């Protein structure tokens, strides 16, 4: 069941926490893809990054 998350007396929607976790996972993936040189091979790296972030957050929401 979805419910608010209490952090120091501030209630946050679950999507905020999932978005922050997704951001951390995204930054790790982005770093690794950059180190491997895969981001430079893409036609539109910024579009790929947005799609990757949305995919990660969507997966976290579905797994909850």
Quote the percentage of the chain above a pLDDT of 90.
80
CB 48 within 8 A of CB 42: yes
The pLDDT, as a whole number, for residue 5 is 87
For residue 32, pLDDT beyond 70: yes
Q: Which residues of 18-52 are buried (b: 16+ CB within 10 A; e: fewer)?
A: bbeebeebbeeebeebeeeeeeeeeeeeeeebeeb
| pLDDT value at residue 1 | 56
């Amino acid at each position: 069941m979805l419910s608010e998350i209490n952090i120091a007396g501030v209630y946050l929607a679950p999507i905020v926490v999932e978005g922050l976790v997704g951001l951390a996972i995204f930054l790790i993936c982005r770093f690794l893809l950059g180190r491997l040189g895969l981001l430079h091979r893409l036609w539109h790296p910024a579009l790929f990054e947005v799609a990757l972030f949305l995919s990660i957050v969507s997966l976290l929401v579905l797994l909850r």
